[in-house]
Chain A
Amino acid sequence: MYIVETRTKASRIAGIAALVLLVALIAAPLFASRSMIQDLFFILTMLTLAQFWNLLAGYGGLVSVGQHAFVGIGAYTLFGAGILWGMDPIAALLICGVVAAIIAVPTAFFAFRLAGAYFAIGTWVVAEVVRLLVAQWQTLGGGSGTSLPPQARDFIGVETIATLLDVRTAAARDIVTYWLALALAVATIGGIYWLLRTKRGLALAAVRDNIEAAKSVGVDAVRMKWLVFLVSAFGTGIAGGLIYLQKGRVSPDAAFSVTDWTAFVIFIVVIGGIGTVEGPIIGVIVFFLLQSLLADYGSAYLIVLGALGIVIMLFAPRGIWGLISARTGIQLFPIRRRLRRAATSTKPTTGERHG
Chain B
Amino acid sequence: MPILSLQNVSKSFGALKVTDDVSFDVPQGQALGIIGPNGAGKSTLFNLITGNIAADRGTVIFDGQDVTRVSPMQRCLAGVGRSFQIPQPFSNLTVFENLVVAAAHGQARREKDVADMCATILERTELIDRANDPAGGLSLLQRKRLELARAMATRPKLLLLDEIAGGLTEGECQALIRTIRAIHAEGTTIIWIEHVLHALNSVVERLLVLDFGRVIGLGEPAAIMASREVREIYLGIDI
Contact = CB atoms under 8 A, between A and B. Distances in A.
A164 interface: no
Contacts of A12: none
B107 A218 contact: yes
Interface of A: 1-2, 4, 198-199, 202-203, 205-206, 208-210, 212-221, 336-339
Nearest to B103: A217
Nearest to B83: A216
B108 A218 contact: yes
A216 B82 contact: yes
B211 to A, nearest CB: 27
B91 interface: yes
A16 B147 CA distance: 40
Contact of A217 (B71, B94, B101, B115): B101
A216 B89 contact: no
Interface in B98-114: 98, 100-102, 104-108, 110-112
A199 B104 contact: yes
Contact of B105 (A210, A217, A337): A217
A202 B115 contact: no
Interface of B: 50, 52, 71-73, 76-77, 82, 84, 88-94, 96-98, 100-102, 104-108, 110-112, 115-116, 118-119, 122, 131-132, 150-151, 153-154
Contacts of A220: 73, 105
A218 B90 contact: no
B52 A205 contact: no
Nearest to B150: A217
Given A217-B153, A219-B101, A210 B90 contact: yes
Of all A-B residue pairs in the complex, the 4 with the closest CB atoms, nearest first, are A218-B106, A217-B102, A218-B76, A213-B88
Nearest to B120: A2
Contacts of A1: 119
Given A198-B111, A199-B105, A203-B101, A217 B154 contact: yes
Nearest to B78: A218
Given A2-B119, A203-B105, A214-B90, 10 more contacts: A209-B90, A210-B90, A210-B91, A214-B101, A215-B71, A216-B50, A216-B72, A217-B101, A217-B153, A218-B77
A171 B14 CA distance: 69
A190 B50 CA distance: 38
Most chain A beta-carbon contacts within 10 A, residue among B90, B102, B104 = B90
B115 A339 contact: yes
Contacts of B96: 337-339
Contacts of B89: 209-210, 213
Contact of A216 (B76, B98, B131, B132): B76
